Amino acid sequence: MSESVKTKTELTGQQDALAQDFVQFAVDCGVLRFGEFKTKAGRMSPYFFNAGLFDDGAKLGRLAQFYAQRLLASGIEFDMIFGPAYKGIPLGAALAVELARLGRNVPFTYNRKEAKDHGEGGSLVGAPLKGRVLVVDDVMSAGTAVRESISIIQAAGATAHAVVIALDRQEKATENGMDVNHSAVQYVKNQLGLQVCAIAKLSDLMHYLEMHSAQGLADDHQRVQLYRQRYGVEEG
């Protein structure tokens, strides 16, 4: 085996381990739950991921480590970070702090939902948007937040370059109330032209459930598998 192939293989193994560690972390924090949950698209999902429950300093710090590790392993290049309101604000800030701790200090900015007409004014807070911008969010359901972020970034004269998220649900998006044969992540990649990386994907969640079937997760594994068969998309 050549050194380059070996390195790539080892990196894939590390990334797989990172995804499994993240899924376990999300379960331990109560962020990832199993049961029956209604999604924005009206589907009854057998699992629910709520990044808002990374709700203390230790959890948010560990989450930022996962984001940074996945991002640095991806090889995606960027000049600054943008955190779209609201969930993207603490996620982007935490990632910026963690990257600085690792020796990569990059500017960070975020937007307000409503522009201020006093003080510094405007809808943007933080560093000026310029260069290649990385958007940070939790999950991508319809790509709406990304499209809004692209508009904000382009209006400032910068380039929306990539997106990093915590979980890729790998399921069909909806348009006008109808299922389509691509996910929100695939839309952002193929139609909007942005690179996307995720700490973990639904396939990683499936692997976690399979590996923990003996610990009482066999039924959850079956339900998630059936859900994926109905609403899942091919990777890519």
pLDDT tens digits in sequence order for the chain, 236 residues long: 334 333 444 444 555 899 999 999 999 999 999 999 998 878 899 999 999 999 999 999 999 999 999 999 999 999 999 999 889 999 999 999 999 999 999 999 999 877 655 445 468 999 999 999 999 999 987 677 888 999 999 999 999 999 999 999 999 988 877 788 899 999 999 989 999 999 999 999 999 999 998 788 999 999 999 999 999 987 65
Residue 15 tokens read as 């990334």
Spatial contact of 160 and 150, defined as CB atoms under 8 Å apart: yes
* Residue indicated by tokens 């998630």: 224
User: What's the pLDDT at 143?
Assistant: 73
Q: Does 140 map to a domain?
A: yes
Expressed as residue numbers, the domain containing 43 is 3-231
**Residue 12 included in any domain:** yes
Is residue 127 domain-resident? Answer: yes
Counting the structural domains of the chain, the total is 1
Question: Which domain CATH number covers 215?
Answer: 3.40.50.2020
Length of the chain: 236
Q: Say how far apart CA 146 and CA 21 lie, in whole Å.
A: 27
What positions carry a catalytic annotation? Answer: 116, 118
For residue 143, being part of any structural domain is answered with yes
Dihedral through CA 94, CA 65, CA 100, CA 82, nearest 10?
A: -40
Beta strands in the chain (DSSP E): 32-38, 44-49, 80-83, 108-116, 122-126, 132-136, 159-168, 172-175, 178-183, 195-201
236 inside domain:
no
